[in-house]
Amino acid sequence: MSFSPVSRRDFLLAAGTVALGASAGLAPGALAQGQPASEKKIRVGIVGGGFGAAFHWHQDPNCIVEAVSDLRPERREHLMNVYQCGKSYESLEKLILDPKIDAVAVFTEAPNHVRHCVAVMNAGKHCLCAVPAGLTLEECRELIDAKERNGVRYMMAETSYYRWPTITARKLYEDGKFGNLVYTEGEYYHPGIAHEKDGLSYWNGKRTWRHGYPPMLYPTHSTAFYVGVARERLVEVSCLGETSDDPAFHDNVYHNPFANASALFKTSRGHIMRCNVMWEVWAHGERAQWFGDSMSMFMDGWSGQPYLISTATGETITSQPDYWHLVPEAMRIDSGHGASHPFITHEFTMALVEDREPAVNVYEAVAMTAPGIVAHASALKGGEQMKVPSFDKA
């Protein structure tokens, strides 16, 4: 059965209007007309010319790219071309000394995230960082401490949080449409990455950080589908890892044997989340399913699963609302990860303009990251049930 005209209209009004801006973590205001929400300009430095070149800083009316940096000269040049910026530095350490820079977007190697973010925040600058927030529980605490000590803003650039189906699910959850969200599935599949012959595992004949990288130390593309929708925490986990014959998983700096991992989490309200992160499986991309006792929602995906919202009363909807009105007109470009990049860019910029915490602040970032760290430890112990510590303020 399809939605009746009234039900369909009500749903679209609830999930697709500017009023959604608050739950999407974006400021509405003049954005529908593509006008800046303020005259204030945030001057950012961009570090990392790989993934860091995929965002929209130069297209945000409230942002100026002041400088860029990468250790590789060709990547510095690429950043300068993408962001139309004439100033570059040879390292993050030099860039953060620039007094004109208000904030730094860190897109460096995962094992360096905390070290680099702490350096940025110790320099008195706001910080956005690629995922994950950290690789150990100690790093998670160090990140929070640096943020609070320096009185700056921190945001994790989690793409799954701003995929359009996630924005819809977040609004439906906040409106109580799911009822009790009893079970959620989050998945991230990237076949071949971290393997011996993967092109990203080596550079100039040397291993990179991706060589043999543990799946559950990159959990946030999956955990964000729950933490970023229900705002709950993942508090207990049992995880199974699957070993691989690939040489990268027999000799790596992480002492990691697993190419695939599947974790079963208990949430802070006693519900269940299943989280998959897999490097050796024939499947692609990120996807989620949310099961409530009043409504369930299914993301579309590589496998052919269609987008579907279904209610306990038999109503269905198969069309995803358009959220471009939530970002300035010049930024309405799908540059990857489900059109999330413009939303991440704009949310961080507007959080600084409005002097508020960003949606994926340091506590949300750690709540998405720490469960994977504990899950990996569980897998190394054969699936032992383990507690996930809380890093939230008391």
Of 91, 124, 156, which residue sits at a domain end? 156
Shared domain check, 237 and 107:
no
What is the per-residue pLDDT across 283-309, written as a single tens digit (0 to 9) for each? 999 999 999 999 999 999 998 999 999
pLDDT on residue 283: 96
Residue 209 domain flag:
yes
Residue 225 domain flag:
yes
Q: How far is CA 281 from the centre of its chain?
A: 22
Residue 338 domain flag:
no
pLDDT on residue 136: 98
pLDDT on residue 51: 85
Percentage with pLDDT > 70 across the chain: 91
Dist. CA 217–CA 193, nearest whole Å: 14
Shared domain check, 205 and 74:
no
Residue 174 domain flag:
yes
Packed helices 164-174 and 220-230: angle between N→C axes, nearest 10 degrees: 30
Which domain, by its residues, includes 200?
160-329+360-387
Of 113, 131, 156, which residue sits at a domain end? 156
When divided into structural domains, the chain yields a total of: 2
What is the per-residue pLDDT across 125-142, written as a single tens digit (0 to 9) for each? 999 999 999 999 999 999
pLDDT on residue 37: 62
Shared domain check, 307 and 173:
yes
Q: Which residues does 237 contact at the CB level (< 8 Å), separation at least 6?
A: 263, 264, 265, 266, 371, 374, 375, 378, 385, 386, 388
Shared domain check, 255 and 166:
yes
Shared domain check, 152 and 262:
no
Shared domain check, 188 and 138:
no
pTM of the model: 0.91
Shared domain check, 179 and 65:
no
Shared domain check, 292 and 170:
yes
Dist. CA 355–CA 298, nearest whole Å: 35
What is the per-residue pLDDT across 63-96, written as a single tens digit (0 to 9) for each? 999 999 999 999 999 999 999 999 999 999 999 9
Sign for the pseudo-dihedral over CA of 212, 280, 222, 163: positive
Poorest-pLDDT segment among 14-18, 207-211, 245-249, 329-333: 14-18
Of 156, 180, 214, which residue sits at a domain end? 156
Shared domain check, 60 and 37:
yes
pLDDT on residue 170: 98
Shared domain check, 381 and 290:
yes
Average pLDDT rounded to a whole number, residues 155-182: 97
Shared domain check, 380 and 275:
yes
The pLDDT-based confidence of 35 (bands split at 50, 70, 90) is low
What is the per-residue pLDDT across 221-259, written as a single tens digit (0 to 9) for each? 999 999 999 999 999 999 999 999 999 999 999 999 999
pLDDT on residue 39: 85
Give the mean pLDDT of the chain: 91
Residue 224 domain flag:
yes
CATH number for position 66: 3.40.50.720
CATH number for position 270: 3.30.360.10
Poorest-pLDDT segment among 146-155, 275-284, 328-337: 328-337
Average pLDDT rounded to a whole number, residues 369-393: 98
User: Which of these, 159, 120, 114, lies nearest to 141 by C-alpha position?
Assistant: 114
Shared domain check, 177 and 141:
no
